[in-house]
Chains A and B, each alone.
Chain A
Amino acid sequence: MEAAAETLPSIVELRDVSKRFGETVALDHVNLRIGDGEFFSMLGPSGCGKTTSLRLMAGFELPSEGEVLISGEPQGSRPAFQRPVNTVFQSYALFPHMSVFQNVAFGLEMQRVPKGEIQRRVTEALELVQLPGKENRRPKQLSGGQQQRVALARALVNRPKVLLLDEPLGALDLKLRKAMQFELKELQHRVGLTFVYVTHDQEEALTMSDRIAVMEHGHVLQVGTPGEIYENPTSRFVADFIGETNFLDGRILGREGLTARVGVGGLELWARAGTEAPGDGLVTVAVRPEKIALSREKQPGRNTFSGKVEDITYVGKDSDYRIRLNEAVVLRVRVQNQAPGVSPVASQGEAVWVGWPEEAARVLLD
């Protein structure tokens, strides 16, 4: 997947870009290539540099070092109004004194597009975001979801090469956000445009993106498809930030090709390790709670251990089990809940077995 994306002609590229605000380093030698037509997300906690990256692409900020390229063209210190990209702002930034029509028409008007064409394209854009008939409303008279659509139309109507979206769904409630996620993805498909999408919501990034860049402290930690990022995180931060993970600190005891034998708190378990893993030394093993099977009988395979149910938390669709394997090791296991009346896999205090396939555990270097 990574290879496929690499072969796409890149539409936006950050080449060794750094950005400093006074003493603060917002971006530290970042390299990114975003392929034409991709839905590319930048994911990370606040202050990780994702919004700064987006603002550098838009031209609201200029890099302290390095180069931003759009369609292969270095942007230098080109201001925002000369770049072939458009932005959907987190706060929407709709002009409050203009009607919906005037808002959407603004970009075309500034580019001196003829009146008739403006009329046609604005109508088209409002149809595209399913907001026809609201041309004469003021933004204040629309709901949050509708304002969001106006912001989208206002950007899309200019037919940019890249659409930059800065947490566009952040202000919407959960139900609407889910609906808009789907709609945005669908829209991107239809217009075939590159979307660069900034979010701190890992679920949003996983559902919508072709590729994700996970960022922290001004660095890009990992770039990959949602599957790669979720199943094969290369660092503890990524594994922790995306989904939930058991982290087991241990030491590598031996290797069998790409599988390593790791000693964790007196237990021995097997986990996938990249070629880059050290022959010995301290490592962390990451196992997702939902990849661990829970049973009353011993399970086949090398990663099977006995333990005791310490605690069960009901979380709706699933239950979270806390299983103590020994004094040092506690695992969280996520089990889907049975139909009402069917007795659960195990109850509190019961002795159980846990197990997982070797591929489900990964050795992390840091």
Chain B
Amino acid sequence: MTAIGRAARRLRESPALQGTGLILPGLMWMVVFLIVPLILIVVLSFGWRGEYGPVDWGTTPTEFLSRLSFSNYARLIDPLYMGVLGTSLRMAGLTTAICLVVGYPVAYFLARSSHRWRGLLLFLLLVPFWTNFLIRIYAWMLLLRTEGLVNRGLVTLGLIPEPLQIMYTPTAVMIAMVYEFLPFMVLPLYTSLEKLDPALLEAASDLYARSARTFLRVTLPLSLPGVIAGTILVFIPTMGMFVVPDLMGGARTALVGNLVQRQFLSARDWPFGAAASMVLMALTLAATVLYTRVSGFGEELVV
């Protein structure tokens, strides 16, 4: 038997080896494009800004390493930056909450709609994604600006005396973020609501529960995995978002994403940007872990 033949046979007979083989390409990708850059950022966040370049690498690696310090993190403990972090947390939390409140009825409706229409409705939900994200944001700018469709419509109808200043406010940022991330909330919710056996709702009704109580005691707890997945899917990207606040909020609504972006692109202070992004990551992770703990995600997975 040839060496290749032997290897092939070993592979056939060992599920563990097959598993390793299957996971290897993905793992390589993760190492090269996620783990390595992440390590770089971590190291960088303890470094110094160069006099002429974004990073002072020192003359030798030893010199660079010997000068690592927490100074970038220390700089972040400044009311200005703490305010940015607070705003980011608040905006992301609010966006997620609005997405949940708006998305739940949509998902419920989708899950209960007849099979004939469901495909089309899901398709309609995803159609906006066929257009570039930036173009959709520009469309929102056109709609919301002072002479935009929304304002002119409201003024014409006599509902408001003069155009509202929506653009370049946190409200505008929120509108665009909710719009952008709503499908990420609806889809996981839909998946878990669709799995809900209608007989369970009938059973609740048979056991003297009115619809409101059926919802609170049966539907909502059983859709919790969807609520949690949707919340995480919306919260994490909104925490790091910088394009929407840039375009919709002007310079007035700076989020931590903008802070990181500016340090890398305009201020050319990579170490400080790296530290800010580390804090962003830690904050997101902490919020997510806390949230899953409180909502008992692990327990719900058993169901």
A243 proximal to B (CB < 8 A):
no
- The yes or no answer to B162 lying at the interface (CB within 8 A) is no
Q: Is the CB of B222 within 8 A of A58?
A: no
B208 touches A110 (CB 8 A): yes
Report B-chain residues with C-beta under 8 Å of the C-beta of A136: none
Identify whether the interface residues of B are mostly helix, strand, loop, or mixed: helix
B207 on the A face (CB < 8 A): yes
Does B13 count as interface, using CB distance less than 8 angstroms?
no
Q: What's the count of A-B pairs with C-beta under 8 Å?
A: 66
Q: Mark B172-216, 1 if CB is under 8 A from A, else 0.
A: 000000000000000000000000010110111111111001000
**A106–B203 CA distance with the chains assembled, in angstroms:** 10
B221: Cβ under 8 A from any A Cβ = yes
A72 proximal to B (CB < 8 A)? no
A119 to chain B, nearest CB (A): 17
B residues near A96, Cβ cutoff 8 Å: 222, 303
A60 to B201, CA, bound (A): 10
A91 touches B199 (CB 8 A): yes
Q: A81-B208, A107-B207, A107-B208 are in contact. Are A93 and B303 (CB under 8 A)?
A: no
Answer whether residue A158 sits at the interface, using C-beta atoms and an 8 A cutoff.
yes
The answer to whether B205 and A60 touch across the interface, beta carbons within 8 angstroms, is: yes
A89 at the interface (CB under 8 A from B): yes
Cβ of B216 to closest chain A Cβ, rounded Å: 11
Classify chain A: how many residues form its interface, as a range.
20 to 34
Q: B197 to A93, Cβ gap below 8 A?
A: yes
Within 8 Å of chain B (Cβ to Cβ): is A237? no
Q: Are A111 and B208 in contact (CB under 8 A)?
A: yes
Bitwise, A51-88 to B at CB < 8 A (1) or not (0) is 00000001110000000000000000001111001110
Q: Is the CB of B203 within 8 A of A89?
A: yes
Cα distance, A154 to B199, chains bound together (Å): 14
Within the complex, the shortest CB–CB distance from B69 to chain A, in Å, comes to: 50
Given contacts A95-B218, A97-B221, contact A79 B209 (CB under 8 A): no
Interface centre among A89, A91, A110 (most CB of B within 10 A): A110
* Chain B residues, CB < 8 A from A140: 302-303
A70 to chain B, nearest CB (A): 14
Q: Is there a chain B Cβ closer than 8 Å to A261's Cβ?
A: no
B147 CB–A CB distance under 8 Å: no
| Bound: A138/B300 CA distance, A | 12
> Which of A60, A106, A140, A158 is the most central at the interface, judged by chain B CB atoms within 10 Å of its CB?
A106
Q: A158 contacts B207, CB within 8 Å?
A: yes
Measured between C-beta atoms, what is the minimum distance from B221 to chain A in Å?
5
Which residues on B sit within 8 Å (CB–CB) of A106?
204, 207, 209, 217
Report which residue of B208, B221, B303 has the largest number of chain A beta carbons within 10 angstroms of its beta carbon: B208
A90 nearest CB across to chain B (Å): 8
Q: Are B202 and A60 in contact (CB under 8 A)?
A: yes
Contacts of B217 in A (CB 8 A): 106
Check A93/B205 contact, CB under 8 A, given A81-B210, A138-B302.
no
- The contact of B206 among A58, A95, A138, by CB within 8 Å, is A58
Query: Are B302 and A95 in contact, CB atoms less than 8 angstroms apart?
Result: no
> Which residue on A lies nearest to B300, using beta carbons?
A97
For B209, the chain A residues whose CB sits under 8 A away are: 81, 106, 110
* B222 touching A97, Cβ below 8 Å: yes
Closest to A86 in B: B206
**Contact residues in A for B203 (Cβ distance below 8 Å):** 87, 89, 93-95
CB distance from B78 to the nearest CB of A (A): 46
Distance in angstroms between the alpha carbons of A322 and B210 in the assembled complex: 60
Known: A91-B199, A95-B200, A110-B213. A81 touches B300 (CB 8 A): no
A160 to chain B, nearest CB (A): 9
B206 cross-chain contacts in A, Cβ below 8 A:
58-60, 80-81, 85-87, 107, 155
- CB of B210 within 8 A of CB of A93, answer no
Give CA–CA (A85, B207) in the complex, Å: 9
| Interchain CA distance A95-B217 in the complex, whole Å | 10
Closest 9 CB pairs of A and B: A107-B207, A93-B203, A93-B199, A110-B208, A80-B205, A81-B208, A110-B209, A87-B206, A96-B303
21 inter-chain pairs at a CB distance below 8 angstroms, sorted by A residue, are A60-B205, A80-B202, A80-B205, A80-B206, A87-B202, A87-B206, A89-B202, A93-B197, A93-B199, A93-B200, A93-B203, A95-B204, A95-B218, A97-B221, A106-B207, A106-B209, A110-B207, A111-B208, A138-B303, A140-B303, A154-B207
Additional 7 contacts, C-beta under 8 A, given A93-B197, A93-B203, A140-B302: A58-B202, A60-B206, A89-B199, A89-B202, A96-B222, A97-B300, A140-B303
Contact surface of A with B, Cβ cutoff 8 Å: 58-60, 79-82, 85-87, 89-91, 93-97, 106-107, 110-111, 138, 140, 154-155, 158
